[in-house]
Amino acid sequence: MLSIAFSSSSVVCGEPKKLKKFRKRLARERREDLQRMADKIKDIGEDELRRSKELLREHREYYETKPKEKSIDFYEK
């Protein structure tokens, strides 16, 4: 049982030319998928940047236009 676990076995799948073609085809297909994913992530990042700028602008407008309130002095006689 132990000899089966420690025995080295190698599996050969196909000829080197077929493997090379398969690798190239797979890389080409995956490259397009990865490019699409990168574009989507870039779009999400731009949307988040735009949303953050809009929130910051609204925040500034709110606090700049808010009138200064006079503090209440409870100890005044």
More confident residue, 19 or 73: 19
13, 19 contact by CB (below 8 A): yes
User: What confidence score (pLDDT) does residue 12 get?
Assistant: 57
User: What confidence score (pLDDT) does residue 73 get?
Assistant: 72
User: What confidence score (pLDDT) does residue 3 get?
Assistant: 59
User: What confidence score (pLDDT) does residue 13 get?
Assistant: 61
Residue 38 corresponds to which tokens in the numbers above? 């990168």
Residues whose CB is less than 8 angstroms from the CB of residue 14 and which lie 6 or more positions away in sequence, other chains included: 22
Residues whose CB is less than 8 angstroms from the CB of residue 4 and which lie 6 or more positions away in sequence, other chains included: none
Which residue has 């990865």 as its token pair? 34
17-67 tens-digit pLDDT? 888 899 899 888 899 999 999 999 999 999 999 999 999 999 998 888 766
Residue 36 corresponds to which tokens in the numbers above? 């699409």
